Structure 1
């Protein structure tokens, strides 16, 4: 389990660093530096401005950052790998795929997340 926690910590720290970089970029562009560019095809297809798309991505990324930070706290507190709902074990395969997972597969399906 220690090897899995170390693997998860490394993956979480890397993803957190990447997300923080994206958020900084989004905030910089939302501040006006990105206004001169034309919307890309994804923006146009959705009928939304580039700023709206960036804001939505930013919200999702901020939520993911919170999940990552919460998972890092669980690692430090020795609660990593235990379902927040039922207290059972979260499977190794699930934790490798989604290290920030807070629920086992059964509970995840019940809570819809």
Structure 2
């Protein structure tokens, strides 16, 4: 799929900013993964990063391209703007993320 110009996508500023943040993180994660492969050592998992961070970032970029970014996958409502700025790869609104975490711990 050819890259589209951000101006022609007519997206809101939060989505544009989130896309830039995600692209930057994706590039950094890909570079870190490539460095690990070149060093031929087992991957180092940082305690503060989710083990599937690159996959989540790429999934968020795909949601932006498909026009589904910012919608909660669980309830269908909007993910808050502040949450998207803090966690642009978020799949759920804060209420659903809390409920999912409670369900996982039950």
2: distance between equivalents of 1:84 and 1:27? 34
Q: Which has the larger radius of gyration?
A: 1
TM-score, length-scaled by structure 2: 0.76
C-alpha separation in 2, matches of 1:86 and 1:7: 24
Question: Could you list the runs of 4 or more consecutive aligned residues of structure 1 that deviate by over 2 angstroms after TM superposition?
Answer: none
Partners of 2:32 and 2:73 in 1: CA distance: 29
Tell me the TM-score normalised to structure 1 length. Answer: 0.71
User: Which residue matches 1:97?
Assistant: 86
Q: CA RMSD in A?
A: 2.1
Q: 2:23 aligns with which of 4, 13, 37?
A: 13
Q: Give yes or no for contact 1:9–1:72 (8 Å, CA) kept in 2.
A: yes
Structure with the largest fraction of helix: 1
CA 1:67–1:82 in 2, change beyond 3 Å: closer, same or farther?
same
In structure 2, the partner of 1:72 is 61
Size of the aligned set, in residue pairs, is: 90
